Structure formats: C-alpha cells, structure tokens
A and B are shown apart, each in its own frame.
Chain A
C-alpha cells in the first residue's frame, strides 16, 4: 500500500491544478501558432487566482513550477505582492495583460508560458525523465539536462558498479568459508558459525562506525601498516570517505548474506560425489570444477542476488563512509525526501529502483524460490 502510494506520487501533478484550475482551462484555448503571448483571459484568471488563492497552496505550487523552469518562483512571488497591494487599494486593472507585464516584464516572455504546458495535465512523466537526467523543452520534447545538472545517470551507474563489485567480493570471500563451514564436523562449524552470525546480529551503525575507526588516517589499519614499516608515517592511505571505504565496509556487512545461503546449499551436497569423481580419474581441480561447482549454483545465485539487491538500495553505509563522491542512489532519494522536499522526483527514483529490484527478485524466484531464504 505505501509503495502503491509512492508510485502514484511519482506521476502525480494534481496539486498545481487545484491552485490554478481556471487559468489552465483558459491556457488550453491559447493557439500558439496565432498569438505570441496567451490571450487576455489567461492573464485575467491568473490574476484572480493569485489574488484569492491560499498562500500555502500557492507556495507548494510554486515549488513545482520551479522544477519546470527556474525563475517561476520569484516571478509569481513578486507579482502576488503587487496584486495584493492593488486589491487592497480596490484597483481593478483595465487590461490584465499590460498590468502584469508592467509589474514584471517576464510575463511578456513566452518561454515562461511555454513551460506552463508541462503543468496542465494531472499526470506527468517529468519526474521519471528528471531521474535519468532528461527534461522537456518548450515543445514537450525530451532533451538532456544542462551539463552541470546531470547527476543521476552517473549515480545509477556508480550504484550498479558498487553493487556488482560488492557481490563479486562477497562471492570470492564467502565461497571458501561456506565450504569450510559445510564440511567441518558440527562441533567446530557451530563455533565458527558464530563468527558469521555475530556481525549479522550486530547493529549496522556499529559496524559502520567500526569501519570508520579501522580505516581512517590515524586508524587501526594505517597504524598497523606504519608500525610494520610498510607505510611511512606521512604516506598513510586515504581509505575512508571514498569509494574504497564503501566497498570494504559494504563487503563485510553483506558477507553473511552470501555465506548463509551458500552454506545451506553446500551442507546437503554429499561428500561422496567428489570422491566418486576422483575415483573415476578426475584430478581434484577437475572434480571440483565439473562436479562440485555446478551443484552450488543455486546457493551462489541466491547469495549473489540477495547481496546485489541489498547493495543496490544501500544508503546508510555509503552515506557515512562514502564521503562526497561515494553517494549512491539511495542517498539521493533520502536527500530529496528530507532536504529539497521534491517528493515527485524522490518517488520516481524510488520507483525505478523498485523496478530494477523486481526484475532481480523475479529472477531469484525463478532460480531458487522465495521460500528458500534462511536466517542461519
């Protein structure tokens, strides 16, 4: 239910329509081929709606208008003030059009009026286009954003890259450990399992803090390296507040999600298979490659997808450890939700992320089935 609401938000554009209903009605009658500027009626309705409208509602609509073209906000604010002054004095303008253009010459600028076309409909796809760095031009064509405002495509790719790396590292590190755990006698493996489960149970923030302590310039790892003489005292590595730190911390945090599914799959592979293969003349490497590895594929795909899907939506660790250039898409969603209050864009980013997730989720279900999630 909340997610459905979010999807609605991402295309919702009704609020502005409740503020300027008549203006938009008149606006639609404007024939752009014939007149350079909208007819007198549009100016009149806009004037009236600004004079009578609720201040809070107009304020919200302004924010929305500014997404389409920057400059709307100050234009309307200035105009509103003048209109208020006039109505208080009881003045009724003869020509609304000339009065408004007198108040601010921007009302004579057709580009402002063109951009209004984006707001007339109750639904909009602008947020989705914004989420991949596109925007509309005055004729409703999709174009690229300004060079300096293109951030999202880059962030999407970075998010994917980090997720792929984290999944890969988790697989490399997790596979031998899961193999060891699955093949040791239960007494030892239960003991070692605690090493896997303890981080799993510990607060995410604790682990993130711990990594900051470990990786910072005066931190534990740099300290040990300097002490061992590998690094000089002023050659300390910058490992935190960049992508390296994000990768290291996320790999450690998500590693249990790789080990646990792998473990539960490896646990049920009979040990006799490897022996039988070797008995039939396969070298150990060959036996592993041809007999053991194919049987672990369900575990690898389950763990891989779980880690990938968790990594792609990760927010806390990249935000704290990643520094300025480590921001992933989750950080932007939070940023628009909390700081800029651009909820439409926030919802659109979320919806795209959700769509990506659902594809992977569907794959996951196809390969292993959702009932196979185990918590150790």
Chain B
C-alpha cells in the first residue's frame, strides 16, 4: 500500500502521519513487555533503571542474576535482601501451575475436540444454542464465572481443592479448543469419513486414523490456547485454591500487592519468553494447516 507517485503533499503528510501513528501504537503494545527484561537483571531491590545500568560504558556491578537465583529458591547471603523475602514459593508455584495447566489442557482438548466434531455436522440440532453455551465462559466476565463456580463448588465441596481448580479451568479453556478445531474443520472433507467407514473402519478407528491426523494442527493450537488460559488464570485460583496452593499468577498477584520486588520481573521475563515460544508454535501450525488445506496466502 505504497503511496502513488501522483500524491499531493497534503496526502503525503497524511500518509506519513498515519505510518508514524501506527508505529507509536505498535510501540505502545510491546514496549512495556520489553522494558521489564533489563530491570530483572538489576542488582537493586527496586523495580527501576538504576544509574549504573544506564551508564556508558556498562557498569558490570549494576547487573546480576541475583533475583533469578532468589526465584529458584537459592537464599545465599549475596542473594537475600532485607526488603525481599526469599523462599521456594516461586518454584512450588511453577510446579503447580504446570500441573494444573497440563491436566486441564488434556481434559479440555479431549472435550473440545469432540464438541467441535459434533457441532460441525450439518444436521446437528440446536447448534446455535449449544455453541452459545459452550463459548459463554469466554464472553461472560471472569469474575462472574468465578463467583458462580465458587458458589456451586461450595455446595459440592470442591472449593479449596486442586480438582475444583482444574475443573474450573477446563470449563474456561474448552471454548478455545472448540473454536480453533471448528475453524480447522471448515476445510475438512466429510467424504473422507464416509470413505473410511465404507472400507470397514469403525468410528473410533476412523477418528484416530483419518480425522485426527488432518485436524491435528487445529487441535494443537487449541491445546496451546487452553494451556495458556489455564496457566495465566488468577481469579479462579484466588477464590478456589486454598492458601498453600500457590500458582505462578497467584504468587505474582501477591507479590504486586505486598512486596514489589524484582523477583516478579524475573518470573515475568520467563513468562514473556514462554509466550514468544507458544506464539511461534501456533503461528507455524496455522501456516502448516493452511498449506495442507490448500489455502494460499494472499
């Protein structure tokens, strides 16, 4: 969308202003994420750029891995600081987060894929209604879902258990799987199912040998969405988990509210790295799936 050669000066001004504006917005979107990375390597116990960090030539004294060592539970004398507590809470949180995330992802992916398969059949009754109910956790504010689940789970004694947290996360994560798998199924040729069955394959075998390999990119990206949803979720964990059931987001929340320490930024840096990794994976999968379905990039 380059400017035509006959553009008037006014048009040129508009055009460059427009490009500049977009640049500012892009900067606004990502700058905060990258601003925290250098600070996490600081020596200072405050979340600021110190004079030493901004000095030129760089002052090696101002940089350290101190807070990363604090994060992984190393409490040696040169790591601890009077304002920053040191414990292995971050590591417990990491283990819990991955455990809850992975279990919830597996369940949500299985349920979501099945739902998407059923919903993509042409003769499914009440399709709109079922779809609306399925994706409602995505639209309804989290705080309402969380409050509702808390009341409901309080009745059936699931509050303050891992099971409760995982089930709640499954409910939140399933819509993402349904949506991505439904999108993949748009280009899926249902005749292949008929062909497989006419050749004698049972429905289960048809699914694993014919359908699944073809929609796998959709399933995986749905699973990644599900994982990040559960991994990043804090409201439900706050209500539903007991005090000692820590997860990374809960620990970050507590950290921001009580003691603002650079350890939070270390964890944040790790999470940014994780999200870059997941984003790349999803993007590659999406291209692969488009290539397989014969949709050429325009």
Contacts and interface: CB of A to CB of B under 8 A. Distances in A.
Contact of B140 (A174, A333, A354): A354
Interface stretch (A36-44, A67-75, A114-122, A218-226): A218-226
A333 B149 CA distance: 13
Given A205-B252, A312-B141, A353-B144, A9 B151 contact: yes
Contacts of A314: 141
Interface in B71-115: none
Contact of B148 (A3, A177, A194, A196): A3
A195 B268 contact: no
B33 interface: yes
B33 A195 contact: no
A330 B26 contact: no
B33 A210 contact: yes
A313 B35 contact: no
Given A210-B268, A338-B239, A196 B135 contact: no
A194 B32 contact: no
A312 B139 CA distance: 11
Interface string A66-95: 000000000000000000000000000000
Interface in B261-278: 264-265, 268, 271-272, 275-276, 278
B29 A255 contact: yes
B265 A213 contact: yes
B234 interface: yes
Nearest to A6: B148
A370 B132 contact: yes
A9 B150 CA distance: 11
A347 B151 contact: yes
Contacts of B48: 213, 216, 218-219, 223
29 contacts: A2-B151, A5-B148, A6-B144, A177-B26, A196-B29, A197-B279, A202-B275, A203-B249, A205-B256, A205-B268, A206-B268, A207-B32, A209-B36, A209-B252, A209-B256, A210-B33, A213-B265, A216-B48, A313-B143, A314-B141, A316-B253, A320-B256, A337-B239, A347-B147, A350-B144, A357-B140, A373-B138, A373-B179, A375-B225
A201 B179 contact: no
B147 A315 contact: no
B256 A173 contact: no
A180 B29 CA distance: 15
A213 B32 CA distance: 8
B271 A206 contact: yes
Contacts of B36: 206, 209-210, 213
A176 B25 contact: yes
Nearest to B48: A218
